[in-house]
C-alpha cells in the first residue's frame, strides 16, 4: 500500500508478479514450436490472469484511470504475443480481438462484480455510494436483475439426516404401505419447469419457474414440492420413495455441507416429512420406459410453457446465471470498443466484429499457421493479401470479397502479368518455395512477392482467368 492509498504500487507489484509467472510459462513455447495456442491461452486465463485479478473487488477503482489501463494492456500484450507468436509490432487491440480476450480492465471489473455478489449473498457486503463498495450500486442502475436473490449462500451444515439416499441402479421390491412419488425438471427456450407425479394420492403438479433458473434447480424444487405435498395431505406411517433421475441433486443432498439455499430448503422439507414417515430418495434412469418418470417429465415440460404465477424470480437465481450476464456485458463492451476504435483497419476488414467461432478455429491451428494468419491480418499490407486470410475459411460471402480485392488490387494486376509472362505459373511456385527455404524468411513481414501470394489465392479459389494473366 502507498501513502495515498490509490493502489498504484499494488498494481505495479501485481504486474511484476504476474509477469514472472508468465515468463515461466513462456519457457515451454517458441515462435513456431511448443505448446498449442489454445493450451497457452488456457494457461494465461487460468493461472496468470487469475493471480492478477485476485482480490480485485478492493482495488478495481484504480483500473478506471487511463494510465492503469495502459499498464494492464502492456502486460496482457505479452500473453497475446506468446499465444500467437506474432511479431512485436502487431497491435495489441488486434491481438485481443483475434484471440477473443477482453481488455484486462474489463475483466477485472467483471471479477469484482462477481465477488461482490458472492459476498452480498452471504451477508458480508454493504453497499455504499463511494469507494470500492459502490460497485454494485452503479451496476444495479444499469442491470436491475442483479438485485434478484441469489441461490448461493454461506456454507451450511446438513446434519441429522433421517432420510435415505440410494443412487445405485438396483431394483427393489416395494414393501407394504409403500408410496412412490416421481419428480422431474425440464428447461427449454421458453422457460424452466418442474413436475411431480404420484398415482396413489392423485398428485399431478406442474410448476413454472421462469427462464433464468437451471435444470438442477428445477429437479431440486421438484423434490421439495413433493415433500411439501405429502405433508399437506397428512400422509403418515408410509414408506415414501421419492424417485428422481438427477444424480447431481441426490449427491448434493448426500453431502453434509452446502452453499445453496434450495438444497437447504429441500433438506428441511424432507426432514419434516421424516417425522411421520420413512423417506427414501431413489435414483431412476430417465427416459427408460418408467411410466412414473415419463409422466413427471411430461408435467415438467408443460411447466416450461406456462407463465410464472407471481413476481420474478420465483426461486433464487443460480450464481452461474450472474456469470453469464456479466460475461455477455464484458463481451458487448469489448465489441463496442473495437467498433469505436479508428486503428487496425486491416484487421477490421477480416474481423469487423468479435467472432467466437472464428477464434476457436484459429486456436486449433498450429503455432506456425496461427503466426502467419495473425501477421497477415494485422499488418499494413494491400487488400489482396488480406484475402489470403479469408481463403482459410470456406465461405461464399468471403469468396465474393476476395474477388473484389483481386479486381481492385493494381499491384497484383501489374506484377502478375510481368511475373507470369516471364516465368510462368510453375516458375512462380518454385520461386516461392526457394524464398521459403531462405533463413531470414520468418523475420520478414512479406518475403513472398505480391504476385506469388495472389497466384496462390486465385488458384485456391479457381479464379485464374485470361483477363488477369
* Structure-model confidence comparison of residues 326 and 176, the more confident one: 326
Write the secondary structure of 6-67 as one string of H (helix), E (strand) and C (coil).
Answer: CCHHHHHHHHHHHHHHHHHHHCCECCCCECCHHHHHHHHHHHHHHHHCCCHHHHHHHHHCHH
147, 165, 188 — which closes off a domain? Answer: 147
Maximum separation of any 2 CA atoms in the chain, in Å: 99
Alpha-carbon gap, residue 222 to 131, rounded angstroms = 43
- Say whether both 309 and 169 belong to one domain: yes
337, part of any domain: no
- Say whether both 293 and 171 belong to one domain: yes
* Structure-model confidence comparison of residues 250 and 395, the more confident one: 250
- Say whether both 168 and 137 belong to one domain: no
240, part of any domain: yes
* Structure-model confidence comparison of residues 175 and 233, the more confident one: 233
**Mean pLDDT of all residues in the chain?**
82
Pairing type for strands 192-198 and 203-210 reads antiparallel
- Say whether both 310 and 161 belong to one domain: yes
**What pLDDT, in 10s, does the model give residues 58-109?**
999 999 999 999 999 999 999 999 999 988 889 999 999 999 999 999 999 9
What is the percent of the chain where pLDDT is above 90?
52
Cβ-contact 371, 378 below 8 angstroms: no
pLDDT value at residue 147: 86
Collapsing DSSP to helix, strand or coil, 260 comes out as strand
pLDDT value at residue 406: 52
Cβ-contact 35, 24 below 8 angstroms: no
Region of poorest pLDDT, from 130-144, 184-198, 367-381, 423-437: 423-437
Region 270-293 average pLDDT? 90
Collapsing DSSP to helix, strand or coil, 145 comes out as helix
Whether the predicted pLDDT of 50 surpasses 90: yes
* Structure-model confidence comparison of residues 462 and 55, the more confident one: 55
pLDDT value at residue 60: 93
pLDDT value at residue 461: 40
Alpha-carbon gap, residue 226 to 182, rounded angstroms = 8
331, part of any domain: no
- Say whether both 34 and 135 belong to one domain: yes
pTM over 0.95: no
pLDDT value at residue 404: 58
pLDDT value at residue 397: 53
**What pLDDT, in 10s, does the model give residues 308-319?**
877 888 899 999
Region of poorest pLDDT, from 43-52, 110-119, 210-219, 393-402: 393-402
The values of phi and psi at residue 240, to 5°, are -100, 120
330, part of any domain: no
Which structural domain range is residue 429 located in?
A: 381-461
Region 362-379 average pLDDT? 86
- Say whether both 85 and 198 belong to one domain: no
Domains identified in the chain, total number: 3
pLDDT value at residue 447: 40
Region 306-333 average pLDDT? 89
3-state helix, strand, coil in the chain (%, to 5): 55, 10, 30
Region 130-137 average pLDDT? 87
All three cell numbers of 152, joined, read 448461493
Amino acid at each position: 500500500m502507498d501513502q495515498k492509498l490509490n493502489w498504484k504500487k499494488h498494481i505495479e507489484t501485481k504486474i511484476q508478479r504476474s509477469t514472472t509467472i508468465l515468463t515461466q510459462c513462456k519457457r515451454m513455447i517458441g515462435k513456431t514450436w511448443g505448446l498449442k495456442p489454445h493450451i497457452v491461452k488456457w494457461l494465461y486465463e487460468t493461472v496468470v490472469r487469475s493471480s492478477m485479478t485476485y482480490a480485485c473487488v478492493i482495488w478495481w477503482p484504480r483500473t478506471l484511470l487511463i494510465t492503469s489501463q495502459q499498464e494492464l494492456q502492456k502486460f496482457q500484450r505479452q500473453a497475446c504475443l506468446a499465444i500467437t507468436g506474432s511479431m512485436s509490432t502487431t497491435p495489441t487491440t488486434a491481438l485481443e480481438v483475434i484471440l477473443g480476450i477482453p481488455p484486462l480492465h474489463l475483466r477485472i471489473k467483471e471479477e469484482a462484480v462477481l465477488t461482490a455478489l458472492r459476498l452480498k449473498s452471504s451477508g458480508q457486503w454493504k453497499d455504499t455510494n463511494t469507494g470500492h463498495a459502490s460497485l454494485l450500486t452503479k451496476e444495479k442502475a444499469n442491470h436491475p436483475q442483479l438485485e434478484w436473490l441469489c441461490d448461493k449462500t454461506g456454507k451450511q451444515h446438513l446434519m441429522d439426516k433421517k432420510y435415505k439416499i440410494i443412487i445405485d441402479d438396483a431394483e427393489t421390491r416395494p414393501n407394504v404401505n409403500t408410496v412412490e412419488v416421481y419428480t422431474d425438471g425440464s428447461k427449454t427456450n421458453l422457460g424452466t419447469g418442474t413436475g411431480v407425479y404420484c398415482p396413489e394420492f392423485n398428485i399431478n403438479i406442474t410448476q413454472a419457474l421462469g427462464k433464468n433458473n437451471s435444470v438442477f434447480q428445477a429437479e431440486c424444487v421438484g423434490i421439495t414440492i413433493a415433500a411439501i405435498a405429502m405433508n399437506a395431505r397428512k400422509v403418515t406411517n408410509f414408506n415414501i420413495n421419492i424417485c428422481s433421475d438427477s444424480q447431481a441433486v441426490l449427491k448434493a443432498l448426500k453431502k453434509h455441507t452446502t452453499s445453496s439455499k434450495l438444497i437447504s430448503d429441500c433438506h428441511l422439507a424432507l426432514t419434516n416429512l421424516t417425522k411421520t414417515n420413512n423417506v427414501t430418495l431413489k435414483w431412476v434412469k430417465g427416459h427408460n420406459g418408467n411410466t412414473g418418470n415419463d409422466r413427471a417429465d411430461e408435467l415438467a415440460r408443460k411447466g416450461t410453457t406456462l407463465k410464472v404465477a407471481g413476481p420474478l424470480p420465483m426461486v433464487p437465481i443460480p450464481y452461474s446465471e450472474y456469470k453469464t450476464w456479466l460475461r455477455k456485458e464484458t463481451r458487448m463492451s469489448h465489441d463496442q470498443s473495437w467498433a469505436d476504435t479508428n486503428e487496425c483497419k486491416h484487421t477490421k476488414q477480416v474481423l469487423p466484429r468479435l467472432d467466437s467461432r472464428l477464434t476457436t478455429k484459429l486456436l486449433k491451428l498450429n503455432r506456425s499457421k496461427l503466426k502467419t494468419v495473425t501477421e497477415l491480418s494485422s499488418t499494413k499490407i494491400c487488400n489482396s493479401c488480406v484475402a489470403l486470410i479469408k481463403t482459410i475459411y470456406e465461405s461464399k460471402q468471403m469468396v465474393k470479397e476476395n474477388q473484389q480485392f483481386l479486381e481492385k488490387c493494381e499491384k497484383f494486376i501489374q506484377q502478375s502479368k510481368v511475373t507470369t509472362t516471364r516465368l510462368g505459373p510453375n516458375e512462380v511456385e518454385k520461386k516461392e518455395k526457394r524464398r521459403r527455404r531462405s533463413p531470414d524468411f520468418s523475420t520478414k513481414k512479406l518475403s513472398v512477392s505480391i504476385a506469388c501470394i495472389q497466384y496462390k489465392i486465385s488458384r485456391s479459389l479457381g479464379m485464374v482467368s485470361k483477363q488477369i494473366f
